């Protein structure tokens, strides 16, 4: 919120009650504390405030706020991204359908609900395939189905996740495990393309290389500038621009994941928000662009639009802290890491008595370190060195 105030904006902050405290007070003019996904509760309150002092924009930095923000923008006719655009990006099956209609990076896909659906999909596409939620993020509940015996049971394993005790905020949608998306497996490395759009003109700010780990597709390493060949990156960024045009994105940030396959680049998914996992800090360090400020300023004319991609100044990399699963006994090494010349930022997400889970998705990551370097290779080496210097000692859970 302080960045919104720095931009000269008056702020009405809509947030869950437990996530608002006195640290927000200096930057907020009015606060609405409620479940903002409940439109029946949200709309009358926002309408009353809008009638008293009309809003210029409804903006969010959160996955969960994207759809409510678009709904409010349409209701009050104040611009912003359309509900259709946001839903095309939130719903991966609808995004696949839109890309197929436009002939953009074709990927075989379908929505399933049973093991029979998986069997029929595999008969057409062959193995391996990916089974994942249609409307979640953070590498949640992604199954890489390589063998027929896995294909015969993956639907049951996926649907059973509905019975798991999820922490508040883990799931974006109550019906996430009612069905699933089936896709052909895309080979090759993965990058994310960070963009800002200004009246439909898309500017690439950064391309981020990814290192995946754990039993699923958790992002254990990120780095920029990308080390992929120049022509490969040009093809990938052209594909992203085609995607953003296809879904109708007009203003603000987008974070788009792309697989660089043997058949050319293919979209994995996209979101009209900034990337997580320290990507904004990496982008600001290397390119001098604070994408959070641009996200808060989208469509308001308080920041000059970018007209071309910025040039990198050095490199930055993010590495996950990955202790053995178990109960945390001790965390050491943080002060020494902060004193290192390559250090940018650190976030240790666990403390003594917390339980480290086996790494299956991004929320299982115990923490991360962000480091700089003259080159991307140097930044990656520094980030891994610093992450290894933070010792999270665990013991088996009784």
20-57: pLDDT as tens digits: 998 998 999 989 999 888 889 999 999 999 998 899 99
Q: What is the pLDDT of residue 363?
A: 85
Cα 65 from Cα 100, distance rounded (Å): 27
Q: What is the pLDDT of residue 171?
A: 62
Q: What is the pLDDT of residue 173?
A: 61
Residues 62-90, mean pLDDT to the nearest whole number: 93
Cα 196 from Cα 191, distance rounded (Å): 17
Q: Choose among 109, 29, 44: nearest CA to 75.
A: 44
Q: What is the pLDDT of residue 356?
A: 95
Residues 302-326, mean pLDDT to the nearest whole number: 96
Given a cut of 80, is residue 214 above it in pLDDT? no
Give the phi and the psi of residue 283 in degrees, each rounded to 5. Answer: -65, -40
Residues 354-379, mean pLDDT to the nearest whole number: 94
Q: What is the pLDDT of residue 277?
A: 80
Q: What is the pLDDT of residue 170?
A: 62
Q: What is the pLDDT of residue 174?
A: 63
pLDDT digits (tens, 9 = 90+) for 315-336: 999 999 999 999 999 999 999 9
User: Edge to edge, what strands does the sheet with 264-271 contain?
Assistant: 264-271, 252-261, 190-198, 201-213, 218-224, 315-320, 367-373, 343-348
Cα 111 from Cα 131, distance rounded (Å): 9
Residues 288-315, mean pLDDT to the nearest whole number: 94
SS3 103: coil
Cα 127 from Cα 145, distance rounded (Å): 7
Neighbours of 119 (CB within 10 A): 14
Cα dist. 246→85, 104, 155, 299, 394 in Å? 9, 9, 31, 20, 48
Name the average pLDDT for the chain: 93
Residues 118 and 112: beta-carbon distance below 8 Å: yes
Q: Choose among 96, 47, 95, 99: nearest CA to 71.
A: 47
Residues 148-177, mean pLDDT to the nearest whole number: 80
Q: What is the pLDDT of residue 172?
A: 60
Given a cut of 90, is residue 290 above it in pLDDT? yes
Residues 379-393, mean pLDDT to the nearest whole number: 98
Range scoring the smallest mean pLDDT among 159-173, 224-238, 316-330: 159-173
Confidence of residue 215 (pLDDT cuts 50, 70, 90): confident
Cα dist. 7→158, 180, 300, 301 in Å? 44, 41, 10, 10
Given a cut of 90, is residue 62 above it in pLDDT? no
Given a cut of 90, is residue 398 above it in pLDDT? no
Residues 2-13, mean pLDDT to the nearest whole number: 90
Q: What is the pLDDT of residue 177?
A: 83
Confidence of residue 63 (pLDDT cuts 50, 70, 90): confident
Q: Choose among 100, 68, 101: nearest CA to 83.
A: 68
Report the chain's terminal Cα–Cα distance, integer Å. Answer: 42
Q: How far is CA 204 from the centre of its chain?
A: 17
SS3 74: helix
């Amino acid at each position: 919120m302080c960045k919104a105030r720095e931009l000269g904006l008056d702020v009405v902050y809509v947030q869950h009650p437990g996530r608002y405290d006195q640290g927000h007070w200096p930057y907020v003019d009015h606060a609405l504390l409620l479940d903002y996904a409940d439109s029946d509760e949200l709309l009358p309150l926002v309408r009353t405030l809008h009638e008293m002092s009309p809003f210029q924009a409804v903006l969010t930095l959160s996955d969960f706020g994207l759809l409510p923000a678009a709904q409010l923008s349409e209701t009050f006719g104040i611009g912003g991204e359309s509900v259709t655009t946001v839903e095309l990006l939130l719903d991966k099956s609808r995004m696949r359908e839109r890309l197929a209609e436009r002939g953009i990076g074709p990927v075989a896909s379908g929505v399933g609900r049973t093991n029979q659906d998986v069997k029929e999909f595999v008969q057409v596409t062959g193995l391996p395939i990916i089974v994942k939620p249609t409307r979640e993020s953070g590498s949640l509940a992604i199954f890489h189905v390589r063998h027929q015996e896995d294909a015969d049971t993956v639907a049951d394993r996926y649907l059973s996740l509905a019975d798991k005790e999820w922490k508040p905020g883990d799931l974006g949608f109550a019906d996430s495990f009612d069905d699933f998306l089936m896709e052909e497996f895309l080979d090759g490395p993965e990058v994310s393309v960070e963009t800002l759009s200004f009246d439909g003109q898309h500017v690439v700010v950064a391309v981020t290389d990814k290192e995946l780990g754990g039993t699923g597709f958790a992002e254990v390493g990120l780095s920029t500038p990308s080390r992929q060949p120049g022509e490969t990156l040009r093809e990938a960024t052209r594909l992203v621009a085609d995607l953003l045009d296809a879904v109708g994105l007009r203003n603000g940030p987008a974070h788009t994941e792309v697989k660089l396959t043997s058949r050319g680049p293919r979209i994995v998914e996209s979101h009209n928000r900034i990337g997580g996992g320290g990507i904004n800090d990496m982008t600001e360090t290397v390119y001098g662009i604070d994408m959070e400020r641009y996200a808060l300023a989208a469509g308001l004319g308080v920041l000059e639009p970018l007209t071309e991609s910025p040039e990198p100044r050095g490199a930055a990399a993010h590495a996950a802290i990955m202790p053995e699963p178990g109960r945390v006994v001790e965390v050491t090494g943080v002060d020494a890491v902060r004193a290192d010349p390559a250090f940018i930022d650190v976030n240790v997400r666990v403390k003594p008595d917390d339980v480290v889970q086996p790494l299956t998705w991004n929320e299982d990551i115990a923490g991360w370190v962000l480091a700089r370097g003259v080159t991307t290779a140097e930044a990656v080496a520094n980030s891994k060195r610093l992450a290894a210097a933070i010792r999270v000692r665990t013991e088996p859970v009784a």
